[in-house]
Amino acid sequence: MEVQCPRCESTFAVDPAVLRAHQGALQCSVCGEVFRVPVAGPALSKSLDSSPPRNGGLGRWFLMAVILILVLVLIVQVLWWTRSYAYLASAAPVRSFLLQSAQRLGVTMPWPGPNAEIHIGHSTVTPLPNHLAVIRGTLENTSGMVQAYPQIQVVLSNAYGSTVATLQFAPSAYLPKGIQPSEGFSPRSRVDFVLQGPELQAVPGYQVTILRQP
């Protein structure tokens, strides 16, 4: 701290600890005047001598938040590109969370597939009036992950084996009521399907297949 001689007005620096040791008594080194200076308490002296502490708490919390966000983004990217979320979605709570998040974002959940682990268990053809027909069957997802429902293709042929028509049915056209295609095909489960329409004619030959993703 700095003090000033009351006689010659000389200014010089004094260590507060030395000042307290001499009970505030000082002698001017210029004119020899002896005078007293009020002694500050330890807390006051410490506050005068030390600079105010730097507030780094907010910066540290901000840095930690940024790191956490980057880690979460990286995890989401890994799950997205590896389609690992489709395996995690086999658990009902995870699947519900993913569907609710997609709904809030206004998008449809992009389930992977359908791949070769979706099969047609069986299918039967029933003739209808007006030379039409209806095809009933069962789809089975034998994989351990949620997949997209496939499109079903029906190739109609005449008695000579020549193709009469090729029809494709989207999931919304063949799934039972109450099943939403956006919810995905649950792993290790089965679902019944019904194919019918004005294009599905009663012909001698039918070939029912699944259109899969490469």
Number of domains in the chain: 3
| Residue % of the chain over a pLDDT of 90 | 46
**pLDDT on residue 207:** 95
> pLDDT by residue (tens digit) across 30-69?
887 887 877 765 544 444 445 555 556 677 887 777 777 7
CA 23, 24, 28, 32 torsion: positive or negative?
Answer: negative
Task: Give me the count of residues in the chain.
Answer: 214
Q: Let me know whether 20 and 43 are in one domain.
A: yes
Share of the chain above pLDDT 70, in %: 85
Quick one: pLDDT at residue 48? Answer: 43
Structural domain boundaries enclosing 134: 118-211
31 shares its domain with 62: no
In this structure, the answer to whether residues 89 and 165 fall within a common structural domain is no
* CA atoms within 13 A of residue 79's CA, in its CB half-sphere: 15
Within-domain flag for 163: yes
In this structure, are 43 and 64 located in the same domain? no
Within-domain flag for 111:
no
Is 135 within the bounds of a domain? yes
The answer to whether residues 6 and 66 belong to one domain is no
Instruction: Kindly compute the dihedral angle of the four CA atoms of residues 80, 83, 86, 87, in this order, to the nearest 10 degrees.
Output: -120
Residues 155, 79 share a domain: no
Asked whether residue 110 is domain-assigned, the answer is no
Strands (E), the chain: 2-4, 11-13, 25-27, 34-36, 118-128, 132-141, 151-157, 163-169, 189-201, 205-211
Position 29 pLDDT exceeds 50: yes
Q: What is the pLDDT of residue 47?
A: 46
Same domain, 131 and 87: no
Residues 128 and 74 in one domain: no
Q: Indicate whether 185 belongs to any domain.
A: yes
- Same domain for 182 and 122: yes
CATH of the domain at 170: 2.60.40
The answer to whether the bond into 114 is cis (omega within 30° of 0) is: yes
Q: Could you read off the pLDDT of 95-137 as tens digits, one per residue? A: 999 899 889 989 888 899 898 899 998 899 999 999 999 999 9
In a domain, 144, yes or no: yes
What is the structure's pLDDT at 45? Answer: 44
* C-beta separation of 115 from 147 below 8 A: yes
d(CA 124, CA 171): 18
Q: Whole-angstrom Cα distance, residue 174 to residue 192?
A: 8
Comparing 102 with 174, the larger pLDDT belongs to 174
Q: What is the pLDDT of residue 186?
A: 95
Q: Side chain identity at 156, as an amino acid letter?
A: L
63 and 43 inside one domain: no
Q: Taking the model in full, what pTM does it have?
A: 0.62
Which stretch of DSSP H or E encloses residue 47?
helix 42-49
Residue 76's nearest CA partner among 58, 88, 65 is 88
Q: Are residues 43 and 62 in the same domain?
A: no
Same domain, 87 and 124: no
> Of 57-71, 140-154, 169-183, which gets the smallest average pLDDT?
57-71
The answer to whether residue 112 sits within a structural domain is no
